[in-house]
Chain A
Amino acid sequence: MPIQILMPALSPTMTEGKLSRWLKAEGDAIKSGDVLAEIETDKATMEMEAADDGILGRILVPGGAEGVKVNTPIGLILTEGEDKSALDKVTSPSQAQAQTPAAAPAASVAAPAPQAPVAQPILQKSYNGPTKRQTVREALRDAMAEEMRNDPNVFLMGEEVGQYQGAYKVSQGLLDEFGPKRVIDTPITEMGFAGLGVGAAFGGLKPIVEFMTFNFSMQAIDQIVNSAAKTLYMSGGQQRCSIVFRGPNGAASRVAAQHSQCYASWYAHCPGLKVVAPWSGEDAKGLLKAAIRDPNPVIVLENEMLYGQSFEVPDDPDFTVPIGLAKIERAGASVTITAFSRMVGMALETAELLAKEGIEAEVINLRSLRPLDTATIVESVKKTNRLVTLEEGWPYAGIGAEISAVVMDQAFDWLDAPVMRVTGEDVPMPYAANLEKLALPDVAKIAAAVRAVCYRGQK
């Protein structure tokens, strides 16, 4: 049977086009790759090449024809051993072979649409083992050291993590214990070493990539989002990427706009990433250990202002904090406050102040921002009927905006007041001490929001 030449689609949007002219005549010999004709698409004039060898037996659509639909037979090729008589055997040019998947969406509508999984509350187990008094800095260091002892594929890389012992001394002592093969000082080259880490993770290693601060991760965000987060999906589940990106996030003190920014909503926005933000020493150690063990890319948002704070920290190499679960730090029935990282401490402080006014706030330490423990938040709101979200970052499309939407969706009928957000101001961080203070949440702002959702004036 002669081979049909079909009108080709030569751009992703082309449905029909003009067959400008034929560059071969009937009877011409053609080789695969020869230019057969010129086609005018919706974008440009393109050359159409032959995909088969043979003789151009018949031209079905003449040069100059306009509005030729994609997949219309425009010519016939005689293959080796065929003569002209074969041409007449092609009576009604069938387009069966040109079936496009365009029919599929109709079938899609009939099938039940798959549902994204809905979270169920999970009972939290509280830790009852031995503890020791440690700073958050030490807890993070111990988390890394324990996991590096556990698994030879775990290594740490970043700027000043080795000989300098960490720009913020988080990696103190690790070079001595694990040596330069596993504690690697990198040049100042964020996009480079973030990408190198992702590549190493593709190859089966488990890198911990430290950003001196998350502000510098913007240089590397393409590698984090496009390479680390999406590859599992784009490979149909084949190519894993087990990697931790960690470092201090959010406002430090008096370092101005480029060094004071919260990346919680940036990274939590992206499917394929997990994002955690520890507050206490227990959070820091347990979440970082869980992050290192996790087979996915995990962003660990630490906070410089917390590094020096001391907590009772579980002293057990098997202790981890499960990613995806929040912790109720303080129970209360009057109002729910959600917070993460340094803001948890501020929320607790505010709760003590408000208790004197007869307002008992329930403080939820989110711990994990993706996946978000929506079940714990919703259960709490069903009890308190009021919600204030707290974060250091900007309000626009922030974590508070997401939580507000979740509560509207899942607990609308339980709300006795509109959800209020307490956030950093919607401005780049100023340097001046008085303006910086004004740009960040504080106890007074949180207390005012809580009183507002409780319809209470200030005492």
Chain B
Amino acid sequence: MAIAKKQVAKAAPKAPADNLLKLYRDMLLIRRFEEKAGQLYGMGLIGGFCHLYIGQEAVIVGLMAAARPGDSVITSYRDHGHMLATGMDAKGVMAELTGRSGGYSKGKGGSMHMFSRETGFFGGHGIVAAQVPLGTGLAFGHKYREDQGVCLCFLGDGAVNQGQVYESFNMAALWKLPVIYVVENNKYGMGTSVERASASTELHRRGDAYGIPGVAVDGMDVLEVEKVGRKWLAHAREGKGPVVLEMKTYRYRGHSMSDPAKYRTKEEVSKVRAEHDPIDTLAKKLLDGKLATEDSLKEIDREVKDICTQAADFSQSSPEPDLAELYTDILVEA
């Protein structure tokens, strides 16, 4: 499908203020998009599983600011933020959520399964940790073709106890593959806290046995994420092998739409929202540093809201897939 890459450009920003405003805008786009998705889910327009990224925006936005065109991105099913941050069009993503023909997968994939060859986004995978060997394979491809690309392979704290993660770590270290394993530690794998699931909770050290360096990062601070990302992307690009970046982050919503999140207190959520929200934190920085005004931030909010409203409209006006689509795309015709 032909979709313009106008929303998020990967090009390096010209001045520091521009960079900060772009980070702000990109995070806000994800926040507003996800709120809109939650709303459409509530209206019955989105079905099945729908995992929102609200609270974790700084992780993907900071890393994409550090990445270069030609790098590849792969993640599991909490993936809408990653799609938008790689430059995928909000309309195409929202229309996939509603199962319409204008969606990135023509309505045949849904929330967890979207791809864009144009932006280097390789899914969107529904089986916990399956994307880790896949991302390692994308990194293998970068090295095989010598194209200087790096794979950013995202996994959650719930995925780190799957065996295939360590099979991947071993091969990536053995062959010095250009891959960044980004563990998005939002503290809960569905309803089970990290402490209840992991014998060792220092997730950045999970590559120790393979000699893979690991760094714990404040995943709620987009500037910190970008800085660490730049350093380790360069490391991987120089052929020095993989790294594990543990992004300490938090999701405000339940695991999926039908999760009432009774495994944590309201106070815990409110405290993070009040004190560590990645968007509010950056807004404060912008205002305190006189890099933006209340009005200019409001203007960004309006622009982002427009994008999301248009995406929501498109996701309802785009027709359902043609019935003949049932039998297409099973095999590539040789």
Contact = CB atoms under 8 A, between A and B. Distances in A.
Contacts of A195: 130, 132-134, 136-137, 164, 167-168
B292 interface: no
Contact of A9 (B36, B42, B326): B42
B137 to A, nearest CB: 2
B310 to A, nearest CB: 15
A226 interface: yes
B144 A200 contact: yes
Contacts of B136: 192, 195-196, 199
Nearest to A80: B298
Contacts of B132: 195
A10 interface: yes
Contacts of B145: 203-205
Given A41-B258, A98-B43, A239 B115 contact: yes
Given A108-B323, A189-B170, A200-B144, A194 B133 contact: yes
Contact of A238 (B32, B98, B117): B117
A196 B171 contact: yes
Interface string B235-274: 0000000000000000011100111101000000000010
Nearest to A233: B329
Contact of A198 (B49, B126, B137, B328): B137
A266 B109 CA distance: 24
B44 interface: yes
Interface stretch (B14-22, B100-108, B217-225): B100-108
Given A8-B43, A33-B35, A114-B326, A227 B134 contact: yes
B174 interface: yes
A209 B323 CA distance: 36
Contact of A201 (B107, B137, B273): B137
Contacts, number: 227
Interface string A87-112: 00000000001111110100010010
Given A49-B38, A101-B45, A236-B109, A114 B323 contact: yes
Instruction: Name which of A43, A155, A191, A242 has the most chain B CB atoms within 10 A of its CB.
Output: A191
The DSSP consensus for interface residues of chain B is loop
A12 B45 CA distance: 10
Contacts of A11: 257-258
Contacts of B134: 195-196, 198-199, 202, 223, 227
Nearest to B116: A238
A49 B42 CA distance: 10
A173 B45 CA distance: 58
Contacts of A194: 133
A11 B106 CA distance: 24
B47 interface: yes
A111 B115 CA distance: 30
A226 B131 CA distance: 11
Given A231-B123, A232-B330, 13 more contacts: A8-B43, A43-B258, A46-B254, A49-B253, A187-B174, A192-B168, A199-B141, A200-B137, A202-B138, A233-B329, A235-B113, A239-B115, A239-B117
Interface of A: 6-12, 32-33, 41, 43-49, 51, 70-71, 97-102, 104, 108, 111, 113-114, 116-117, 155, 181, 186-187, 189, 191-205, 222-223, 226-227, 231-240, 242, 271-272, 274, 293-296, 323
17 contacts: A6-B42, A8-B39, A9-B44, A33-B54, A192-B136, A192-B164, A193-B167, A193-B171, A198-B137, A199-B133, A199-B135, A200-B137, A223-B134, A233-B330, A234-B109, A235-B104, A238-B115
